[in-house]
Amino acid sequence: MADQSLTTTSYVILGLVRTLQPCTSYEMKSLVKISIGMFWSFPHSQLYAEPMRLVEKGMLTENQETTGRKRRLFRMTPEGDSALDKWLRQPTSAPTELRDIGQLRLFFSDGLTTDEVRDLALAREKMHRDRYDELVATREKVASAATPAKLRTMEIGFKWEETAAEFWASVAADPPVGG
Amino acid sequence: MADQSLTTTSYVILGLVRTLQPCTSYEMKSLVKISIGMFWSFPHSQLYAEPMRLVEKGMLTENQETTGRKRRLFRMTPEGDSALDKWLRQPTSAPTELRDIGQLRLFFSDGLTTDEVRDLALAREKMHRDRYDELVATREKVASAATPAKLRTMEIGFKWEETAAEFWASVAADPPVGG
DNA sequence: CCTATCATGTAATCCGTTACATGATTAT
DNA sequence: ATAATCATGTAACGGATTACATGATAGG
């Protein structure tokens, strides 16, 4: 019975529910927003839809209020717990998906002028520096409440924004030409 | 008329066709594999389906062979060219989507033992170092044929693999505990 | 000659996104 | 009071992924 075909999103939901249970989709959304959602976007509709699928698969239980907002409160089932545990311990060699519009533009930039490429680079540099600042602010807010593992996860975000900002600065300083 | 609702995938196809035209989906696939596909995965079925949509939108023309394999050869139309040009020049502040299973696991690792977290970190470190090596090999292969912009795009890939490998090494050296 | 891999395409399902909608709180 | 924002949910469409399937070419 029923650990068939869970997606990555499924495991994210399971992880969120284990962290927050009992919890509503909105609470999941709030946690996502200040953490993993900074790098892996999950539209809120997913955070409402996926838990329902997981209820049907026996991974979560749902208690819907009968009055007022009729909010849905989710909790782990033993099946959900063990599915999550199994996933957490599975080795993965899956590469990072690094989806960046700026990189795509640069890749296809052969027809642009030097100035246009520089503009792209400067805009991207600024974006990364802004995000770095956002991350700093977020970390300050959550530092006291988050677990060590969760805080540690943020570090790679800092590193990425830093590295990417430097990369774009170097492109702006010396735009590729020719092609 | 008719630059409605192109997706990022659409622009990737347009960029590929501009680079390779006239070309088949398989040729696009080959280029993707050694370049942007290293960080943004495009299943080959997309590289067959999306060009057909673009033909319908007037962005590409298609010449299908009548004999043998009946391969489809794609070319840019003026509309496709201008849509791509416009996109390349549009500013974006869209953040990078950095989708990494390892990060998700770390984020939800509060229930794991120190050793299990270390195993995760070591596996991820190895993955990133392996990918770094792959990138080196790929760059050597393509160095003479690629444009400066396209080569430059690869650099951020190197940086990422390096940065991520170092991050995971530090996690392995000092795994987060408690929670 | 046969097998493996390259090359080309289609089908079906489902997930993810966008948009719509509205009920509750808080602020002014 | 009223507007704004927070909170909660659903609908619908389309694209992305997975799987199926088979035609060519090259290597042994």
Pick the residue from chain A with its C-alpha nearest to B14. A108
Residue type, A44: H
**What's B95's DSSP letter?**
P
Q: What is the pTM of this model?
A: 0.93
State the smallest CA–CA distance between residue B38 and chain A in angstroms: 8
Higher pLDDT, A73 or A5: A73
**Burial (Cβ within 10 Å: 0-12, 13-18, ≥19) of residue A178:** exposed
A8 touches strand C (CB under 7 A): yes
Query: Which position has the token pair 């940086």?
Result: B159
- Between CA B23 and CA A89 the distance in angstroms is 44
Confidence of residue A66 (pLDDT cuts 50, 70, 90): confident
Residue type, A57: K
- Give per-residue pLDDT as tens, A86-117: 999 998 889 999 999 999 999 999 999 999 99
Cα A30–Cα A32–Cα A35 angle in degrees, nearest 5: 115
State the smallest CA–CA distance between residue A10 and chain B in angstroms: 12
Are A176 and A150 in contact, with CB atoms under 8 Å apart? no
Q: Within 94-123 of chain A, which residues have Cβ less than 7 Å from strand C?
A: none
pLDDT at A4: 62
B50 touches strand D (CB under 7 A): yes
B21 touches strand D (CB under 7 A): no
- Between CA A74 and CA A48 the distance in angstroms is 11
Q: What percent of chain B has pLDDT over 90?
A: 88
pLDDT at A68: 66
pLDDT at B136: 94
Pick the residue from chain B with its C-alpha nearest to A90. B120
Q: Which helix (H) or strand (E) holds B15?
A: helix B8-20
Backbone angles phi, psi at B28, to 5 degrees: -60, -45
Query: Which position has the token pair 């988050």?
Result: A146
- Between CA A91 and CA A93 the distance in angstroms is 7
- Between CA B2 and CA A135 the distance in angstroms is 39
Residue type, B51: P
CA A154, distance to chain mean position in Å, is 11
